Amino acid sequence: MADEQLTFHGWARERIAALATGVQDGRPRVETPVTLTGTDATGATTTAATGTVRFLLAGPADVVRLAPGAVTRRYPTPGTVDHESDRCPHVEFADATLPWRYAPAPRPAAGAGAQHPWLVLVVGLEGDELTLAGDQVTLSPAVQALHPLGTGATPYRWAHLQVDTAGRRIARLLSGRPLAAGTDYVAALVPAYDAAGQPRWAGTGPATVPCYDTWRFRTATPAGSFEDLAAALRPGAAEPETGRAPLDYPRVPDAGDLAVRGALAPLGGTDAALPAEVHDDLDALRTPARDDRGRPIVGLPRYGEAWRAGAPEETTWGAGLNTDPRDRGVAGLGLELGIRLQEELVAEARAHQGALAEARQRIRDLVLGLHAAGGLWRRRTPGDAYERLWLLGPALGRVVTPDGTVAALATAADRPLPAGLFSGAARRILRAGPARTALTAAAAAPPAEVLKAANRCPRPPRPGAGGLPLEDLGIDLADLEERRRRAAETGEVDLTAAAERAKELAEAAHPKLRDLAYSVAERLARAAHSGSPAPWAQAVALLAAAATVDDRDERELERLVAALLELLERWPKPAGEDDLPTLLDGLAEPEPVEPPCRPVDLDALAAGVAAAFDPTRPDAAARVRVLSTIDGLDPARPLAPPEVCVGLDRPVWADLRDAFDEWLLPGVGALPDNSVIAVETNPRFVDALLTGLNTQLLGELRWRNIPVATGCTPLRVFWSRTDTGTGVRVDDITGIGSWPDGSGLGTPAHRPAGASGRDLVVVIKGRLFLRYPATVVYLVTAEHAGTVDFGQDPPAGAVRVLPSFQGRIGTDVTFFGFQGFEPADVLRHWLVFEEPPAGYRFANDASTSPAPETWARTSFARPVRVLIRGDHLDPEGP
């Protein structure tokens, strides 16, 4: 039974074809009555006529080619080289009625009858069974017999319409011929009928027909589908010692059986204790690092010396690497890998160093410049601060602050220093030697005195008469100001004295104005005597103007005459209570304003400029500027040549596989075909191998004079594992220099926090993953209500445990690693292989029914899920 969400039908065609009553010249003939009705302007029927209309629908002869996009899917994909030989090639169409639209037969009634498609898909051997020539193909009788045709009203098993629950319809043509394994085939989409509506072949001779579409593919070897290859897998079919390699130590005949676990080791495996005789014998073979005279001795490699100078074997992990032949042998594998891959590793290290060479050169140049400039600064810079400021003055225009250059700020408009004081021209003018400086006073030309003198603000001007000839009139300016100030403070005015002063102004008036001026003065005197109001302000102003007017200014004289007359006519107006205070305020000297001159603090300026130019300071400009362009320097020694610890993101397991695949999984070559086993990662092996590889790489980098930080561990990745939450790579070890002295190889202290050491790994040998590399692999629990029960399917909704790393050994061995999954827990889980989604497929050997819908339901190939008991995966048994 096919998937219950899909429904299959034998054909689909437009309803107009149901009007056909026969076939004429290979086209369906339609005869249908038509009634024409005439109406007037009001809509009333005026006349009616009925007749029969006859016309032909398009047939196969009317089709020249298919429109682009008519075919939406070709299966297998053109160029496929591993097509399943028991699956039907097919094509799918954008229009669900296209395969039957031009059939030379009337459309049967809904739910009754059959309809043969006007298109068929033919698959055959190119040259033997069919021959392509342009837009035509010649079919041999053999391939014709494999694709028999019928009349337009007969069923065709290899054409159907698929409808899903959402109403989506897919029209599909298939070729149900048997396919041989490892064979090249050609698929051709051709018309089934000729222009007369007759089948294009009958199997009696070659037939040449139009070709609307074609593609090529090849079937896989061996024959079979996903379920066939998966069914051939045998869990746990391997030797129990798979993952261990025997070790022979002939120097100690009684050493017993020793074994080395590979990178992938048996589940729950451990390493036996090393016999003391072997340890002592190997320890005796080692030579001292140096002789009595301090010269290095070439002997066995001392693993760990790059991180524990002197005596690495005094650490627990170092002792194992140097005195245990199992660990020493694995470290030797890493050493050999480093030798074989030295060019590649060195090239990667250079690439990861980035601009280190440029940074080192920049720092060397900086150090040289600072030493040279510092020497000149100490020897040639004047000791006096002002002399030093004068020396550095021409460069102040290049010292920038947020508010502008220092030169511009020091000589701003509100500063007494002139703008050109720090220029080269000023230095030339004031330099010692020429007569202009040699003949000056002793203290006039030295720069320090020049700076002090130029930094003095000018004295503020003394109070003035504002243009009035008060002294010429006999008025003491100081006495006037004192009287005005006293009157303003007490509010009492000596009017008698004011009247006398007014009389004096009248006596000094111009002759033409004197009479009027006397009249004003007399009225002021009477007002002062009687205390009556008077326009003192206007009167005094006019009297002062009369006393100072120019004899030649006739216009001003006329104006003053008119003003005095007007004043006398309106007297005492415009006198008021505030007349005298207004007069006093008008005579007041303006409040002194802070002079727009602020002397420069020459001491602070000299100190700041010296600090800015001093190359010996820790924050010297050149030093700050250069070091700011380099990241990662040692803050305690920023001028030391930088050394970086390069980190190579290189999964070393692939290098080990390419060089020594038997050490990745000892016994991998003896794995039976179609075997599936469970093993675990071995952190002890990883620690030892990466120590040896890093030892060789560091030595090679130093030999080639490539700077690298002391205690660096460039290679920390063995398995290509990533954090499933962040996608960031997970290192297998931390820096070897950080390993605790008391920790042994493979212990958690050697791994980053949270990183697992022993992970479950499933190894499969067979052709399943060669044919289906996208197979979905995961683990799912076999527990039901807390009890393991492999007699039931996995619980619905159970969490899937997906692999986090994978790889391939050789051509037919694939492994999947489950990071953080306890290896022993596999005994309570199913191992699941799911067939990768490949669209809808149909078997070519599942049905012989002539009815298309029956054939489709029977031949529909469901996706396959294979369950393997986890307790059967251990070669050593539960």
Question: Is 268 found in the same domain as 120?
Answer: no
The CB-side HSE value for 686 (13 A sphere, CA atoms) comes to: 29
- Is 849 a domain residue? no
The domain boundary, picked from 818, 834, 850, lies at 834
**Domains held by the chain: number:** 3
Q: Are residues 195 and 250 in the same domain?
A: no
Confidence band for 145, pLDDT divided at 50, 70 and 90: very high
Is 626's pLDDT higher than 80?
yes
pLDDT of residue 594: 54
Q: Could you give the CA distance from residue 333 to residue 329 in angstroms, rounded to a whole number? A: 6
Helix (H, G, I), strand (E, B) or coil at 313: helix
- Whole-angstrom Cα distance, residue 26 to residue 193? 8
- Is 457 domain-assigned? no
Residue 542 in any domain: the answer is: yes
Where a domain ends, among 571, 587, 603? 587
CA atoms of 412 and 408, how far apart (whole Å) = 6
Domain for residue 874, yes or no? no
Q: Are residues 157 and 261 in the same domain?
A: no
495 lies in a domain? yes
CB neighbourhood size of 582 (10 A)? 14
In this structure, the answer to whether residues 506 and 558 fall within a common structural domain is yes
What pLDDT does 2 receive?
A: 44
Residue 575 has pLDDT above 80, yes or no: no
* 659 and 732, same domain (yes or no): yes
Is residue 163 domain-shared with residue 14, that is, in the same domain?
Answer: yes
Tokens at 610, concatenated: 């010296």
Residue 40 lies in a domain: yes
Separation CA 699–CA 334 (nearest Å)? 13
74 shares its domain with 142: yes
Lookup: tokens for 378? 């100490």
Q: DSSP secondary-structure letter at 872?
A: G
587, 604, 625: which is the final residue of a domain? 587
Q: Residue 640: its pLDDT value, please?
A: 79
The average confidence (pLDDT) of the chain is 86
Most confidently modeled of 109-118, 167-176, 239-248, 401-410? 167-176
453 within 8 A of 470, measured Cβ to Cβ: no
Tell me if 353 is assigned to some domain. Answer: no
pTM value? 0.68
Q: Is 561 within a domain?
A: yes
Closest alpha carbon to 680 in 873, 829, 811, 813: 873
4 and 104: one domain? yes
Beta bridge partners of 23: 28
Residue 457 is predicted with a pLDDT of: 84
Domain range for 576 is: 477-587
Band the pLDDT of 1: cuts 50, 70, 90: very low
Q: Is there a single domain that holds both residue 286 and residue 256?
A: yes
Q: Tens of pLDDT along 237-281?
A: 888 889 999 998 888 888 788 899 999 999 988 889 998 898 888
Residues 125 and 267 reside in one and the same domain:
no
C-alpha to C-alpha distances, 754 to 53, 182, 750, 757, nearest whole angstrom: 84, 49, 11, 10
Q: Which long-range contacts (CB under 8 A, 24 or more apart) does 124-133 make?
A: 124/177, 124/185, 124/186, 124/188, 125/183, 125/184, 125/185, 125/186, 126/184, 126/185, 126/186, 126/216, 130/186, 130/188, 132/186, 132/188, 132/211, 132/214
Indicate whether 573 and 653 sit together in one domain.
Answer: no
Q: Measured at the alpha carbon of residue 36, what is the angle toward residues 32 and 38, in degrees to the nearest 5?
A: 175
- Supply the pLDDT for residue 466: 46
pLDDT value of position 827:
93
H/E element holding 816?
strand 813-818
**262 & 294 share domain:** yes
* Tens of pLDDT, residues 526-539: 877 777 777 777 77
Q: What gap in Å lies between CA 234 and CA 99, rounded to an integer? A: 45
Find tokens 């669209």 and name the residue: 839
- Cβ neighbourhood burial of 174 (10 Å; 0-12, 13-18, 19+): buried
Rounded CA gap, 783 and 827, in Å?
11
DSSP 738: G
What is the CA 615 to chain-centroid distance, rounded?
Answer: 40
First to last CA, the chain: 39
